[in-house]
Amino acid sequence: MTADATLLRILDLTVDLATEEGKVRPVDGVSLSLATGEILGLVGESGCGKTMTALAIMRLLPEPGSRTSGAVRLMDRDLLALPEADMRRVRGPSISMIFQEPMTSLDPVFTIGHQLTETMRAHHKIGRHEARERAIGILERVGIPNPAQRLNDYPHQLSGGMRQRVMIAIALILEPQLLIADEPTTALDVTIQAQILELIDDLRQRSHMSVLLISHDLAVVGQVAERVAVMYAGEVVETMPTTSLFVAPRHPYTQGLLRCIPGLAHDSGATEARLHVIEGRVPELRNLPPACRFAPRCPYAMDRCWNERPQLEKVADEQYLRCWNPQPFRA
Amino acid sequence: MSNTSAAGTRSPSVPEAPPLLEVHNLSKRFPVRRDLLGRPTSWLSAVDAVSFTIRRGETFSIVGETGCGKSTLGHLIIRLQPADTGSVLFDGEAVLSSSRHHLGQLRQRMQLVFQDPFSSLNPRMKVGAIVSEGMHRLRLGRANQRRRTQEVLEMVRLAQSYAARYPHELSGGQRQRVAIARALAANPEFLILDEPVSALDVSIQSQVLNLLHDLQQELNLTYLFISHDLAVVRHISDRVGVMYLGKLVETADRDDLFGNPLHPYTQALLSAIPRPQARDQHRDRISLEGEALSPIDPPRQCRFASRCFRVIDRCWTEVPPTESQKPEHDAACFNIAPPTDATAGP
């Protein structure tokens, strides 16, 4: 297996949703690629379309009322073109997803062991005993003490960090090629968060799994991802290696987000009483600006930004940008 | 980075400023199990012998993880829940033993802002009514009440037209402004801010933090800021207290706490903060091993011992007392050591 083989290639992914207030497009022309064994961070604020993108990849969007176009290629197969029966065999063994809230994603009436072994037996022909052995093994790998006893526990008997570990164990038990982690640590305390991020990175290194890490937290993404894609109002506005994220972001939105984080100023030695603010608010999907979607909030907006839609273009090695008037970054 | 308290350009907390709030030995236990006769047999120790002082005009933060008792502490201070033992002096007056009438007067001077602006505002009331509810004790006439409502909405930078809207028409940041306006309506001196920005996106969070900063300057407010977010706490605080399972384990000036943490829990907590930098630039972190002690019927020992990387025999048999390690810097630990590379503040 080569390190830079592309595992997932998303091309011009667009999601249309019919809501009570009319049709909206929460994901608009998103293109991303993910190499084997790579962690790609997908960041943005509430409602920017990052979770919708993940659900579209998994084909888990609500069936009536949503329409997905574009292509999602996993190796040589276009997932959007697969019959549902085949797609069901992709979810689990090929792509697994973990969600933000571990309490609502685990079934409260079944033991941890039952949920793990059922997942295995649904996809593989294996006996109860072997399934149990493998369940113990995976719980051990995600760092759960006394795994054999824990198999008999119900979700409510576990702490938040333990539950998220169990979620990860269930997601990993079929050894997927791709893990989609949607805000996997947002509900957790900071010391537990550090453990979970280390665990994800460790599993990636050992099993060569790829990870799409969705988060609103730039610092979390910076900690484990190799590349990052920033979304705003349904579009990817910038992608770059994380080494550039904190020193050379080019998009005014990325720059603004970084300056909003309390603490960045500390690292440059100064303590500011006031934090940076991005003026205005995220546009409503039903009422998007005509060209660049960030223009109404952008300090550098020009006439062109209101008239002509910028495209995602290559500006440096591995750095792509959707902006007519990028400025150098100063923290 | 220098560790002196003068390093920041943060609003200077004058060390000589008189204390506004003095909390002494505050404790609260909740019964979790009872026998046949309804007598409690098992207790959850939520807040255990916590003491600290907040000076007028400063921001004192309590940081800690889920379940450490920081929200309960806020509730005890304004008597939303009765404390078991201990005392709270607000501007020299005893809060916990005051009469109902007197408590009402005190509560006008101390207000609480909750974390979740989605559930803390009555969805059936318009913003104007929500805000003016906060001033019913002032017994203002209707015209004055309307004027005061306009005034506080202006203070939180909301246009007058918002008074006629319902909470569901507002964004998260706007709702939190309404919650702050309601707290300010009675013209308080002291605000308890319980995770006021945790539910907000980062760009909105910075707006609300700036607003809190400006209000403090304009109105000479004193804040007790309760949060789990260390970056936010570092930004807004003058002094910081760290809580672990009901105990205040370390208290220090902001720059001293982040630059020179002494308690092993504080050191582990600081080392776990994801820093805004790429992954290959990260330093070693302290990984906490083991399970946290249960807060139910905790044995007489250091509550952090089961996860501590510097634990010694004594930690299992005695409760470490809070001791002054140097001026303005207290910690409760038998094995104090300065931070290593992994734990020093960024």
What confidence tier does B213 reach under pLDDT thresholds 50, 70, 90? very high
Cα separation, B25 vs B103, in Å, equals 20
Cα separation, A208 vs B209, in Å, equals 41
The answer to whether residue A155 scores a pLDDT higher than 50 is: yes
User: Which residues have C-beta within 8 Å of that of residue A33, sequence separation ≥ 6?
Assistant: A6, A8, A9, A10
Within a 10 A sphere around the Cβ of B171, how many other Cβ atoms? 15
Q: CB A190 to CB B268 under 8 A?
A: no
Closest Cβ opposite residue B210 in set A145, A219, A277? A277
Q: CB A222 to CB B279 under 8 A?
A: yes
What confidence tier does A72 reach under pLDDT thresholds 50, 70, 90? very high
> If you average pLDDT over every residue of chain B, what do you get?
88
Q: CB B236 to CB A220 under 8 A?
A: no
Cα separation, B180 vs B196, in Å, equals 9
Q: Which whole-number Å values give the CA distances from A142 to A138, A197, A201, B271, in the listed order? A: 6, 11, 11, 21
Chain A residue with minimum CA distance to B12:
A273
DSSP B179: H
**What's the predicted TM-score (pTM) here?**
0.85
The two three-digit tokens of residue B185, written as one number: 């309506």
The answer to whether residue A35 scores a pLDDT higher than 80 is: yes
Q: Which whole-number Å values give the CA distances from B337 to A76, B254, B273, in the listed order? A: 56, 18, 20
> What pLDDT, on the 0 to 100 scale, is given for residue A1?
42
Q: CB A267 to CB B9 under 8 A?
A: no
Cα separation, A107 vs B128, in Å, equals 43
Q: Is the dihedral of CA B330, B331, B335, B341 positive or negative?
A: negative
Closest Cβ opposite residue A262 in set B204, B235, B282? B235
User: What is the rounded end-to-end Cα distance, in angstroms, of chain B?
Assistant: 8
> What pLDDT, on the 0 to 100 scale, is given for residue B5?
39
> What pLDDT, on the 0 to 100 scale, is given for residue A270?
45
Cα separation, B187 vs B111, in Å, equals 9
Tell me what the mean pLDDT of segment B317-323 comes to. Answer: 95
Q: How far is the alpha carbon of A63 from chain B, nearest alpha carbon, in Å?
A: 28
Q: Is B306 on the interface with A (CB under 8 A)?
A: no
Tell me what the mean pLDDT of segment B264-289 comes to. Answer: 78
Q: CB B203 to CB A242 under 8 A?
A: no
The answer to whether residue B10 scores a pLDDT higher than 50 is: no
Which residues does chain B have within 8 Å of residue A197's beta carbon, measured at their own beta carbons? 274
Q: Which whole-number Å values give the CA distances from B35 to B46, B244, B294, in the listed order? A: 21, 29, 20
Cα separation, B246 vs B248, in Å, equals 7
Which residues does chain B have within 8 Å of residue A276's beta carbon, measured at their own beta carbons? 206
Cα separation, A37 vs A58, in Å, equals 19
> What pLDDT, on the 0 to 100 scale, is given for residue B282?
56
The per-residue pLDDT for range B23-81, each reduced to its tens digit, is 999 999 999 888 888 888 889 999 999 999 999 999 999 999 888 899 999 999 999 99
Lowest-confidence region among A179-188, B128-137, B334-343: B334-343
Percent of chain B exceeding pLDDT 90 equals 62
∠ CA B197-B177-B121, rounded to 5°: 90
Tell me what the mean pLDDT of segment B124-130 comes to. Answer: 93
Chain B residue with minimum CA distance to A274:
B210
Residue listed under structure tokens 């501590």: B308
Q: How far is the alpha carbon of A161 from chain B, nearest alpha carbon, in Å?
A: 10
∠ CA B291-B293-B295, rounded to 5°: 140
Q: SS3 sequence, chain A?
A: CCCCCEEEEEEEEEEEEEECCEEEEEEEEEEEEEECCCEEEEECCCCCCHHHHHHHHHCCCCCCCEEEEEEEEECCEEHHHCCHHHHHHHECCCEEEECCCHHHHCCCCCCHHHHHHHHHHHHCCCCHHHHHHHHHHHHHHCCCCCHHHHCCCCHHHCCHHHHHHHHHHHHHCCCCCEEEEECCCCCCCHHHHHHHHHHHHHHHHHHCCEEEEEECCHHHHHHHCCEEEEEECCEEEEEEEHHHHCCCCCCHHHHHHHHHCCCHHHHCCCCCCCCCCCCCCCCCCCCCCCCCCCHHHCCCCCHHHHHCCCCCEEEECCEEECCCCCCCCCC
What confidence tier does A102 reach under pLDDT thresholds 50, 70, 90? low
Task: Give the DSSP letter string of B102-128.
Answer: HHHHHHHHEEEE-S-TTTSS-TTS-HH
Closest Cβ opposite residue A263 in set B11, B235, B285? B235
Closest Cβ opposite residue A193 in set B8, B213, B272? B272
> What pLDDT, on the 0 to 100 scale, is given for residue A267?
47
Q: How far is the alpha carbon of A84 from chain B, nearest alpha carbon, in Å?
A: 36
Chain A residue with minimum CA distance to B294:
A159
Tell me what the mean pLDDT of segment B255-269 comes to. Answer: 94
Closest Cβ opposite residue A46 in set B11, B201, B234? B201
Tell me what the mean pLDDT of segment B88-116 comes to. Answer: 92
> What pLDDT, on the 0 to 100 scale, is given for residue B136?
78
Q: CB B268 to CB A225 under 8 A?
A: no
Residue from A79, A76, A80 nearest A90 by CA = A79
The two three-digit tokens of residue B182, written as one number: 């309601």
Tell me what the mean pLDDT of segment A201-217 comes to. Answer: 90
Q: Which residue has the higher pLDDT, A161 or A106?
A: A106
The answer to whether residue B203 scores a pLDDT higher than 80 is: yes
The answer to whether residue A289 scores a pLDDT higher than 70 is: yes
Reported as type and span, the H/E element at residue B324 is: strand B323-326
> What pLDDT, on the 0 to 100 scale, is given for residue B116?
76
Which residues does chain A have within 8 Å of residue B232's beta carbon, measured at their own beta carbons? 262
> What pLDDT, on the 0 to 100 scale, is given for residue B343?
53
The answer to whether residue B4 scores a pLDDT higher than 50 is: no
Q: Is B157 on the interface with A (CB under 8 A)?
A: no
Cα separation, B224 vs B218, in Å, equals 17
Amino acid code (one letter) for A167: M
Q: Is B205 on the interface with A (CB under 8 A)?
A: yes
Chain B residue with minimum CA distance to A162:
B291
User: Which residues have C-beta within 8 Å of that of residue A265, sequence separation ≥ 6?
Assistant: A271, A272, A331
The answer to whether residue A187 scores a pLDDT higher than 80 is: no
Cα separation, B235 vs A264, in Å, equals 10
The answer to whether residue A45 scores a pLDDT higher than 50 is: yes
Q: Is B4 on the interface with A (CB under 8 A)?
A: no
Tell me what the mean pLDDT of segment A177-203 comes to. Answer: 85
Cα separation, B131 vs A29, in Å, equals 44
> If you average pLDDT over every residue of chain A, what do you get?
89
Q: CB A277 to CB B282 under 8 A?
A: no
Tell me what the mean pLDDT of segment A190-198 comes to. Answer: 83
The answer to whether residue B344 scores a pLDDT higher than 80 is: no
Q: CB A275 to CB B210 under 8 A?
A: yes
> Reading across the β-sheet that carries B93-94, which strands appear in turn?
B40-55, B19-34, B85-90, B93-94
What confidence tier does B9 reach under pLDDT thresholds 50, 70, 90? very low
Tell me what the mean pLDDT of segment A209-234 comes to. Answer: 93
Reported as type and span, the H/E element at residue B183 is: helix B172-184
Closest Cβ opposite residue B279 in set A223, A261, A267? A223
Tell me what the mean pLDDT of segment A285-294 comes to. Answer: 93
The two three-digit tokens of residue B309, written as one number: 């990387």
The per-residue pLDDT for range A224-236, each reduced to its tens digit, is 999 999 999 999 9
Chain B residue with minimum CA distance to A264:
B276
Q: CB A246 to CB B278 under 8 A?
A: yes
Chain B residue with minimum CA distance to A193:
B272
What confidence tier does A119 reach under pLDDT thresholds 50, 70, 90? confident
Percent of chain A exceeding pLDDT 70 equals 95
- Can you give the length of chain A in residues? 331
The answer to whether residue B287 scores a pLDDT higher than 80 is: no
- Sort A118 into a burial class: Cβ within 10 Å, 0-12 / 13-18 / 19+: middle
DSSP B272: H
Mutation choice for A interface testing from B63, B169, B277, B287 by most A CBs within 10 A: B277
∠ CA A322-A325-A330, rounded to 5°: 100
The per-residue pLDDT for range B152-201, each reduced to its tens digit, is 999 999 998 999 999 998 888 899 999 999 999 989 999 999 999 988 88
Tell me what the mean pLDDT of segment A112-134 comes to. Answer: 90
